[in-house]
Structure 1
């Protein structure tokens, strides 16, 4: 009786390990991703570019600063949404490091240029470099995420440098 109980416990443990391993492997294969976060990420980048495009040296400094603040907020929203999307795809081999490098460099440049503009009232043309970087990134990124085309999506994102 004792032997049967020990064998039963061992088989039960083996079954649990087998089922959990299958679940983990199956979950990795079917990770969906959060299309809403990805859409918010893309829209944040588009609005960033739009606000930077509205800058004009003919505007008052306060109006341009408001546009810059709005653009910076959209960039922050895009980055947070990208992180949410990246977490929703954590069980896949998605590598958004190329996108992260571009966004980080734009964010650092944005901080420096906004500070300089606020203090010295320089030309707004200095912000077009950031706008062109984001526009170039938007051209490379898929417009939306579809779980049915996950492999192609991941390959495209992983190729961005």
Structure 2
């Protein structure tokens, strides 16, 4: 996906946040574009953005220090997060990380969303088990002009 769509999506999330919707926001993108997303969030917003990817140990460190708000006794505060936006990969969604499934996401942006055009794909099934209030699909790849592919994307947006 082009840099322009990335910046437009980030500007959209910034405006939504500025209008009082505090998130958390989820961005799902290919691994090759994760650093671009992170850089552009830093350039264009003041949102606290984290990248959730890597080994189990690194993800546990992110959970421990960057994801959750804790009370004065060190206990997690349900529904309270330190971050505004979390960037992750399709692989993390496919691995069905329980820590990502437990979050009530206010908005998800899915880069390369044409991966969802097959209604039987595992990624689509994994996303159905997540709490996603609003969904934004980004794709630079046109559909193959079949009603089934279009239906798959529309059904994901509005089941």
What's the TM-score once normalised by structure 2's chain length? 0.23
Q: Which structure carries more helix by proportion?
A: 1
Rg: which structure is higher? 1
- Structure with more contact order per residue of length (Cα contacts < 8 Å, sep ≥ 6): 1
